[in-house]
């Protein structure tokens, strides 16, 4: 026989501290299945463009059956051995990159240092260096990227002895920078403040023990 069961539900701010943490854990487990990293990727694409890196793209299938072109950026995170970020693309000299990076990110000294390093090695090679950057292996971090450097010299001059190492280290530093940004964004999204704000915005309610209702 049908019965009517009444349940008292609470908003996140009305729960006890223990129940709040249960509600937050529900959110962290079930509500981050979206491309939360898109903003970081967009920023990274802009930075790569300023540095002279043209990221490769790959086909990504959409739920509706279509496809889209996604940048070849990879990451695993965030607290296990082997976690990190990597990317694939083609690099060539970008005129005025240090100045443009300072204008785009005036307080990011890490990016400034990368731009200056690339500028310096290009100067030693008369701005003729190009490089292909590839991801290798099942893991993805700064050391899974292989870098093939060439010098486009009309006189067939060899690149300086430090060229390949200098470019490789700059790209690895950029991968470390990317991973740091991704980790910071993720840690913000799972913070108590951000979780509570999202729960409140969606109007979700919970039982007294913090179990999602409905």
* pLDDT tens-digit series, residues 125-160: 999 999 999 999 888 999 999 999 999 998 889 999
Domain shared by 180 and 91, yes or no: yes
- pLDDT at residue 25, rounded to an integer: 96
**Contact at 8 Å (CB) between 107 and 141?**
no
Domain shared by 103 and 200, yes or no: no
The residues, ordered by sequence, that sit 6+ positions from 169 with a Cβ below 8 Å of its Cβ are 117
Distance, CA of 71 to CA of 132 (rounded, Å): 15
Pick 214 or 117 by higher pLDDT.
117
Q: Is 59's pLDDT higher than 80?
A: no
Indicate the DSSP class of residue 128: -
**Contact at 8 Å (CB) between 82 and 137?**
no
Dihedral (Cα; 186, 100, 173, 159), 10-degree rounding:
150
Band (63; pLDDT cuts 50, 70, 90):
low
Q: Residue 113: helix, strand or coil by DSSP?
A: helix
Give residue-wise pLDDT tens across range 64-95: 767 778 999 999 988 888 899 999 999 999 99
Domain shared by 157 and 128, yes or no: yes
Range of the domain at 82: 36-60+68-189
- Domains: count for the chain: 2
- pLDDT at residue 65, rounded to an integer: 65
Domain shared by 19 and 56, yes or no: no
Give residue-wise pLDDT tens across range 163-209: 999 999 999 999 999 999 999 999 999 999 999 999 999 999 999 99
Distance, CA of 87 to CA of 177 (rounded, Å): 12
**Contact at 8 Å (CB) between 55 and 88?**
yes
The whole-model pTM stands at 0.91
Stated length of the chain: 214
Domain shared by 76 and 172, yes or no: yes
Band (61; pLDDT cuts 50, 70, 90):
confident
Give residue-wise pLDDT tens across range 6-51: 889 999 999 999 999 999 999 999 999 889 999 999 999 999 999 9
Report the relative pairing of strands 89-92 and 129-135 from DSSP bridges.
antiparallel
- pLDDT at residue 138, rounded to an integer: 87
Tell me the CA distances in angstroms from 10 to 51, 208, 212, one per residue in order: 50, 7, 10
Domain shared by 184 and 196, yes or no: no
């Amino acid at each position: 026989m049908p019965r009517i069961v009444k349940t008292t539900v609470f908003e996140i701010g009305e729960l006890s501290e223990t129940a709040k943490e249960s509600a937050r854990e529900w959110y962290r487990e079930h509500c981050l299945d979206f491309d939360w990293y898109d903003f970081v990727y967009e920023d990274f694409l802009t930075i790569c463009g300023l540095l002279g890196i043209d990221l490769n793209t790959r086909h990504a299938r959409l739920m509706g059956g279509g496809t889209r072109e996604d940048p070849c950026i990879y990451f695993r995170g965030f607290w296990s051995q082997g976690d990190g970020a990597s990317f694939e693309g083609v690099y060539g000299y970008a005129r005025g990159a240090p100045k443009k990076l300072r204008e785009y990110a005036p307080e990011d000294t890490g990016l400034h240092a990368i731009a200056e390093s690339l500028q310096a090695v290009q100067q030693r090679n008369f701005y003729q260096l190009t490089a292909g950057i590839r991801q290798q292996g099942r893991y993805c971090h700064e050391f899974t990227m292989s870098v093939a450097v060439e010098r486009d010299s009309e006189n067939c001059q060899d690149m300086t002895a430090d060229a390949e190492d200098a470019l490789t280290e700059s790209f690895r530093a950029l991968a470390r920078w990317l991973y740091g940004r991704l980790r910071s964004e993720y840690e913000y999204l799972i913070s108590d403040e951000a979780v509570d704000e999202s729960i409140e915005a969606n109007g979700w309610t919970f039982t007294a023990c913090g179990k999602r209702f409905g």
